[in-house]
Amino acid sequence: MDGKIQGNCTFLIMETLKQLPHNYLVLFAMFNAVGNLPILADLTGNLDKQQRNRMFRKAVVVAGGIVLAFAFFGDIMLRNIFDISTSAFKIAGGILVFAVAAKGVLSGPSANQIQSVSSHNIAVFPMVFPYLAGPGTILITTILLIQINGNLLTALTVILVYLSILPILYLSPWVEKAIGKLGVMVIARILYIFICAKAVSLVLSGLHINL
């Protein structure tokens, strides 16, 4: 009996370790922190280093809190409050995520909407909405929760992604200089292409189509 329990625990740990990198890469690609570096640099261009880092920390904490809430309660809201089936959510979420990613591939992020935003408010809008906790990110988080059926693993994925995004934000001026604006654009579009493919697979999964 003890051997069987130990075997089940080992299997569960191995499955978790196998699933975590996949979930991390999908969610990290949806955030597209590297692709958003030019906009984030513009948003904080008039701040000194200390103010900029404080703004980044606030944005990451707020965005992380929002996405973690969906990691724990998204499934409850989906099934019990809105009474939406998993298949319907995958189809709708896949279409929306595809639209967001396709727009990123074709045009890239736009800075037009941020010109009149006060520096006191940028940590929430537009840093959190729509860049660090946009609808695509929330949808992907909820879908990951449904697919793996585990709050803790989804929450761990979210925490790891945000912890890895914060250093990128801190180093944004140097990262952009190191790879250049062209490099940022190329990386952003490659990540968006992967997200487009993931969105299509979500729709097919919702339709119960296996290719």
Instruction: State pLDDT tens for residues 180-208.
Output: 777 877 887 888 888 888 888 888 888 87
d(CA 183, CA 164): 19
Residue located via tokens 């591939």: 105
% pLDDT > 90, the chain: 8
User: What is the tens place of the pLDDT at every residue in 60-95?
Assistant: 999 999 999 988 888 788 778 888 887 888 888 888
Residue 9 pLDDT = 61
Q: And the tokens for 64?
A: 């992380």
d(CA 97, CA 199): 6
d(CA 199, CA 65): 24
User: What is the tens place of the pLDDT at every residue in 124-161?
Assistant: 777 787 778 887 788 888 877 766 657 788 888 899 99
Q: Which is nearest to 202 in space by CA: 139, 154, 131, 153? A: 139
pTM, 2 dp:
0.75
What are the angstrom distances between the C-alpha of 89 and each of 136, 167, 202? Answer: 13, 33, 9
Confidence of residue 121 (pLDDT cuts 50, 70, 90): low
55-64, 119-128, 171-180: the lowest-pLDDT one: 119-128
